[in-house]
Structure 1
Amino acid sequence: MSDRMKKIILLSVLMLFPLNAFAQNYPLMGIGISKCSAYNNMTKDDPGHIIKNTYFDWIQGFLSGMNEVTLLSKKFAVDLNSPSFDFVTQQGFLDSMCRRYPDETVVEQAFKMYSEMIKLGLKKIIEKP
């Protein structure tokens, strides 16, 4: 079995593996629960960035969910499409943070990314009627 096929099988398994996370016992599922070391290894030789894009798609979905939570509880949402922190910058952030913190999970880097976007002033106060 080729290394690429092994990566695809591992990626498929990770997409279905649940994890109870962050003291609130909200179950997280998907590739975001994998360690950054796995992300680093799987994206090292990734022609076409298929695996990297799969991780990033998961993060975009997770951050969209974070927006829903903060919108309900704190009345703001982060602009995930901001030109000052665009998708290329977001992917670079994930790559950089996973290289720096290989023992942490990808979802931990997503939380850091969300916090960074708030620090950069990319949150919008939204009043719902």
Structure 2
Amino acid sequence: MAGAAVPRHPARGVARQQPPDHRGGGRTWWCTRSGSAPGAERVVGFVTAVSDGVLAAYLPLLEVLPEFQGQGIGSELVRRMLDLLGGLYMVDVVTDPDVVPFYERFGMVPGTALMLRRRDLLR
């Protein structure tokens, strides 16, 4: 991740959480919570990673609520996840072309990917 500095997110409560394993794959994610009053906190962004813990990881999801976008939350979440995955040879992301410049800021380069989407399983 050499290169451009990623701004630190000023919001309080960027926390690492480890949800239980699901379908045999471990997931690690970071969530950002924002709230001015006690008990008013909510998740406003998250990133997930699936990894074998040895060689490779895949980032299937990065989401930030629309009203919180443009504040550096997504960048901070990706930076923290890449720090967590720093010992791995490869970290892959499949994304839309208009989002490629965002990930390039973290040293990622475009490549090719093949995908299978079983949308019928989402019902």
Normalising by structure 2, we get a TM-score of: 0.33
**Larger helix fraction of residues:** 1
> Larger relative contact order (C-alpha < 8 A, sep ≥ 6)?
1
Which one has the bigger strand percentage? 2
Q: Could you state the TM-score of these two structures normalised by the residue count of structure 1?
A: 0.32
